[in-house]
């Protein structure tokens, strides 16, 4: 009997496959779970970062609105003054 077709060889191959296949399946499942978890974490981090950027942009816009409204009030007050005083202040 040669080793190529022997029962011993078939038994060894089947036992090795029985040991390796579950490990591959477990590795695939764990890899997929890790991928999904990391994807969720990345989405959460991107959401937080975009909220921070949005807050900064809104604060800059609010500051500019305050500056512009103050400038409009000053301009309106100058326009209401007597023509002589308004020209002196604006020049």
- Tokens standing for residue 44: 């959460």
Mean pLDDT of the chain: 87
pLDDT tops 60 at residue 55: yes
Angle of helix 7-80 relative to helix 83-90, nearest 10 degrees, comes to 140
Query: What mean pLDDT do residues 71-81 have?
Result: 73
Confidence band for 73, pLDDT divided at 50, 70 and 90:
confident
Task: Tell me how far CA of residue 3 lies from CA of 7, 8, 11, 56, in angstroms.
Answer: 8, 8, 11, 74
pLDDT tops 80 at residue 41: yes
CB of 78 within 8 A of CB of 86?
yes
> Collapsing DSSP states into helix, strand and coil, what is residue 4?
coil
pLDDT tops 90 at residue 31: yes
How confident is the model at residue 79, as a pLDDT?
66
How confident is the model at residue 72, as a pLDDT?
82
């Amino acid at each position: 009997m040669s080793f190529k077709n022997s029962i011993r060889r078939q038994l060894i191959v089947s036992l090795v496959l029985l040991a390796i296949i579950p490990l591959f399946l477990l590795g695939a499942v764990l890899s997929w779970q890790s991928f999904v978890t990391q994807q969720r974490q990345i989405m959460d981090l991107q959401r937080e970062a975009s909220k921070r950027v949005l807050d900064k942009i809104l604060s800059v816009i609010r500051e500019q609105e305050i500056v512009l409204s103050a400038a409009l009030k000053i301009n309106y007050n100058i326009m209401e003054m007597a023509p002589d005083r308004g020209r002196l202040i604006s020049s």
